[in-house]
Structure 1
């Protein structure tokens, strides 16, 4: 009964109140940029979320405008129609200066059809760059090693008994209670987190390649975090960020040929 009231009455009421507030704010501003992205839910449904970015009362603001199911194939025309409907519904005609998306061709084409300036998400570009470098065919040893550790993490994730044993061992050694982190293909830094967590969980020194790869990935992690912040304008940081990554990679002590090759491919 309570769940039904929350779902059918309270949540729609709160949503409508907040939407009305945002509409009133957007009515006052002159310019807005949009960020939009799509993903597939574990059950197979595809969703798209659009976020608005604007200056209100002297401060940079960001607000989620909508998350909705995208049906049919993700053709540029379908995405264009969705964005056009959203722009019309929120009375943003003539206010949208730029739309930021990932590098997918259907997203780029949708913005072209709307005749609105488009900019690729640089954090996504970094994701593609690092993945390409790590997955290069000549890095077969590193690929096999990373896959090995993904399998180890998956093993822990699937077994409560194994996870309990890990917890008991951490308690016995008076260590922080940590859980393995799994990497996902759409976020390269999840692999970085997986590597660092494995290093925290393992005291043996056979992780030389993984340990050596961590400093190579750290500059990309730092820049990704900086450029994912929505409390300040980030587009002006792109060129300095690339320069900083190159500088830090040149300073890294590349301990193995495998990591040297990965670093070269990423650069």
Structure 2
């Protein structure tokens, strides 16, 4: 987004004069007035929609801009007269400080319903914070970083994909710490690129360097198992985060679908699949040190 004063920018005015000598760009005053008019028209339209729909739901989202400034956006959701799910942004305000539910509650004083997607996010985040998981993720991040920070390595990876006959050329996916799904997508893409990655490393690195970058066969196996475990969670969080449908109606169906495909064990015999996989990883690390 550029400031209104862009209409006076020398480069822009010279470009417009070259493209269309008879065109006169609007003044900053005119642009400001048009923006205010559009805002008031939009505000009036939203007011009418809210007046005609008394049953609404409000949601908030705290986000960070590229300039690392935090904002809280309030959005209203309702069904219009044609039963279409409609969404309107009511406001976006500067939101300094910690991004916690308590602070948001103190600011808004709204009755709150727990966000299911956020709870799933926290559950997975807690699981991946385990030491063994972090050790394996550190290796995945290093592998991704090697290709992300080197054009030569990226080109080499693409060449290996072409040699192997990949119909669609893929790039590694960078993880975003605040979104567990990005960790899932990072591991998923590494598994898809496992063969060309290993071929590239074998052609460009010494054996000791390969060991420091590449995952062991057991680690690759663990990554695949974790992806199978988290795939359903990713589908649920993606569905719950969608704006084109009511999430409340999807929660029971999604949860039921996951349960239908799993064998439920008694609590006394139940053991976290992730704990078991990471336990095997720890044993593998210990064996490697002996």
| TM-score normalized by the length of structure 1 | 0.71
- Relative contact order, higher structure (CA 8 A, sep 6+): 1
Distance 2:80 2:161 in 1: 49
Secondary structure at 2:113's aligned position in 1?
strand
Aligned residue pairs: how many? 226
| Shift, 1:214, TM fit | 0.8
1:117 to 106, 111, 121: 111
Distance 1:160 1:2 in 2: 37
The match for 2:164 is: 173
1:62 counterpart residue number: 87
Distance in 1 (CA, whole Å) between partners of 2:129 and 2:59 is 28
Paired residue for 2:155?
164
Which stretches in structure 2 are left out of the alignment for 5+ residues? 8-24, 199-215, 265-272, 282-290
Partners of 2:222 and 2:105 lie apart in 1 by: 38
Partners of 1:173 and 1:223 in 2: CA distance: 34
Moved segments of 4+, more than 3 Å: 1-8, 13-20, 108-111, 236-251, 254-257, 259-262
Unaligned 5+ residue runs, structure 1?
A: 75-101, 263-267
How far residue 7 of structure 1 moved from its aligned partner, in angstroms, is 11
The 1:36–1:165 alpha-carbon spacing in structure 2 relative to 1, beyond 3 Å, is same
Q: Check if 1:23 corresponds to 2:14.
A: no
Deviates more, 1:52-61 or 1:102-111: 102-111
Q: Distance in 2 between matches of 1:18 and 1:172?
A: 54
Instruction: Please state which structure has a larger fraction of its residues in strand.
Output: 1
Instruction: Tell me, in whole angstroms, the C-alpha distance in 2 between the residues paired with 1:148 and 1:45.
Output: 31
Residue 20 to residue 6, structure 1, CA distance change in 2 (3 Å): farther
TM superposition shift of 1:220: 0.4
TM-score by length of 2: 0.66
Shift of 1:194: 1.0
> Match for residue 231 of structure 2?
218
Bigger Rg, which one: 2
Equivalent-residue separation in structure 2 for 1:119 and 1:235 (angstroms): 11
